[in-house]
Structure 1
Amino acid sequence: MLITVSRSGGFTGVDKVRKIDTSARRDAAAWEDLARRVLPPVADGFHYRITVDDQELVLDETGLTGDQRELIRAVLGEAA
């Protein structure tokens, strides 16, 4: 399993990306279990990428706020 975590923004604006390849690790099972627990189960669910100018938000339908749903409905012209 390849796990990638990226962080951007903050006061200094320094981006950080790290990858963990669990295939050769002794503790692979623990890493993979943790990675699976942080991903919300979305059976046949929608995923969204909202970009406003140079800002981007990636999420799935289980985590949408009311305002995000409203924007998605307005832009896509359908219920979200």
Structure 2
Amino acid sequence: MRIQVTRSGGLLGAERRSVLDTEGRPDAPHIHALAREALGSCNRTPSFGVPDGFHYAISVDERGTGHCAEPQLTDSQRSLISLVLAQGH
């Protein structure tokens, strides 16, 4: 599974993009479940939270893109976003 997270907004408005490929990872089943839960809570159109907050687009394989924003992130969205931004490339 290939998961891409794009973060935009914030004080500087800079965009950051990271991709995580779960192939061969021992924690892949956990990440797949987290991705399904996170996407299930996303909006299908871009959403905006608070001024200067981050906005996220989450894509899993070619299944479409989900959108979410701070401070309304669910626990699964927050966990998945943190994981992909920290460990992706």
* TM-score, structure 1 normalization: 0.48
User: Which structure's CA Rg is the greater one?
Assistant: 1
Structure of higher RCO (CA pairs closer than 8 Å, 6+ residues apart): 2
* TM-score, structure 2 normalization: 0.44
Tell me which protein shows more helix as a share of its residues: 1
